[in-house]
């Protein structure tokens, strides 16, 4: 450990999550930082990783061991809950993420909320929970991030994106009933991960700025999210893709601890809204800077985010699998340089 770094990664990350004092700005990954390079270095490859807790733990730990992040997050796609909903899966290959290929729901009544013991019999769910147990024992001083999809995202899986969004207009009552039931899966899976050893829960709920109006977000999700944050027994990081400035005030009102923002959002304006009520994590653009940029490009973007008041540096979303490791390592290098400059 650098002599100026007196905090453990876990302490640093959790303190920043609550806008607290830190020895340097932390680097986290509330979404996946798995790369083909990391798979080759660890011998843990997609798609086998998604169904093998030991391989999941090995690949996830590489984010800390090889890249130097302050966090470990053993959930690599948005689809791990999809089998619970009855979706048929394509688990992808070394260079592609999993995807659900069927959407079995037509009505809210089609949704079956499993008991906890049923949920743990779903292989993809058990893999994540068991991987967290392995990581918790091995890395007591590193922040372990669990992850669950929010009910809006689960609605996309179960009904299909187009059908689900059309129902918000044509049959809003069906959507409300569906969200009420689907939240039970989100909360149950989150608390299973917390009991397994997760310190924080990443909570992607993809009401993206280009698909969901701020009014729709307010009416469908704000009351539900307010309820969910009281039922999950750990700090929660909300993730939404796209430009989210139009719903930033609603995110503050929902009482999430941290917001993982997309760089399409003007972070300076976003920080004016969130202040110290909600910490921010993110700041590094995926499709341009991380995938095609240089380490120096990454550092410059990281320093801009820190100057804007972002509490934790991170890629803005799950990274492309062919992202070069040197660009991910540059985020950590920038974090250490920012500490020196302060």
Write down the domain spans for the chain. 28-323
Single out the residue of 13, 31, 11, 9 nearest to residue 320, CA to CA.
Answer: 31
Segments in the chain below pLDDT 70: 1-3, 339-342
Q: Strands, DSSP E only, in the chain?
A: 71-72, 89-90, 99-100, 143-147, 200-204, 236-239, 258-261, 279-284, 312-315
Instruction: Convert the pLDDT of each residue in 218-255 to its tens digit.
Output: 999 999 999 999 999 999 999 999 999 999 999 999 99
Neighbours of 180 (CB within 10 A): 15
Q: Determine the longest span between alpha carbons in the chain, in angstroms.
A: 60
CB 72 within 8 A of CB 139: yes
Quote the pLDDT of residue 1. 44
Question: Which residues in 267-281 are b (16+ Cβ under 10 Å) and which e?
Answer: beebbebbeeebbbb
CB 300 within 8 A of CB 289: no
Question: Which residues in 137-167 are b (16+ Cβ under 10 Å) and which e?
Answer: eebeebbbbbbbbbbbbbbbbbbbeebbbeb
Q: Please name the fold of domain 28-323.
A: TIM Barrel (3.20.20)
Quote the pLDDT of residue 40. 98
Residues facing 282 on adjacent strands: 261, 313
């Amino acid at each position: 450990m650098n002599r100026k770094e007196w905090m453990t990664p876990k302490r640093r990350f959790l303190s920043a999550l609550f806008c607290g004092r830190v020895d340097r700005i932390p680097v986290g990954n509330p979404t996946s930082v798995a790369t083909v390079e990391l798979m080759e270095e660890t011998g843990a490859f997609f798609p086998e990783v998604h169904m093998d807790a030991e391989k999941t733990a090995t690949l996830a730990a590489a984010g800390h061991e090889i890249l130097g992040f302050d966090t470990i997050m053993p959930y690599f796609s948005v689809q791990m809950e999809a089998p619970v909903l009855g979706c048929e899966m394509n688990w992808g290959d070394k260079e592609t993420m999993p995807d659900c290929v069927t959407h079995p729901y037509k009505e809210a009544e089609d949704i079956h909320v499993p008991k906890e013991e049923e949920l743990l019999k779903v292989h993809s769910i058990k893999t994540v929970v068991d991987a967290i147990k392995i990581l918790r024992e091995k890395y007591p001083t590193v922040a372990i991030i669990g992850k669950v999809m929010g009910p809006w995202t689960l609605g996309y899986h179960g009904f299909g994106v187009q059908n689900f969004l059309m129902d918000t207009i044509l049959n809003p009552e069906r959507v409300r009933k569906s969200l009420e039931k689907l939240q039970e899966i989100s909360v149950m899976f989150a608390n299973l991960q917390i009991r397994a050893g997760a310190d924080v829960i990443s909570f992607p709920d993809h009401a993206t700025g280009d698909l969901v109006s701020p009014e729709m977000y307010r009416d469908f999700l704000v009351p539900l999210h307010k309820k969910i944050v009281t039922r999950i027994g750990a700090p929660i990081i909300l993730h939404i893709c796209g430009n989210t400035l139009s719903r930033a005030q609603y995110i503050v009102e929902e009482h999430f601890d941290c917001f993982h923002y997309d760089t399409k959002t003007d972070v300076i304006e976003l920080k004016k809204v969130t202040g110290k009520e909600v910490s921010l994590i993110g700041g590094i653009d995926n499709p341009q800077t991380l995938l095609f940029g240089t380490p120096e490009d990454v550092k410059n973007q990281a320093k801009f985010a820190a100057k804007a008041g972002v509490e934790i540096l991170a890629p803005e979303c799950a990274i492309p699998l062919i992202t070069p490791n040197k660009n991910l390592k540059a985020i950590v290098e920038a974090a250490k340089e920012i500490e020196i400059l302060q």
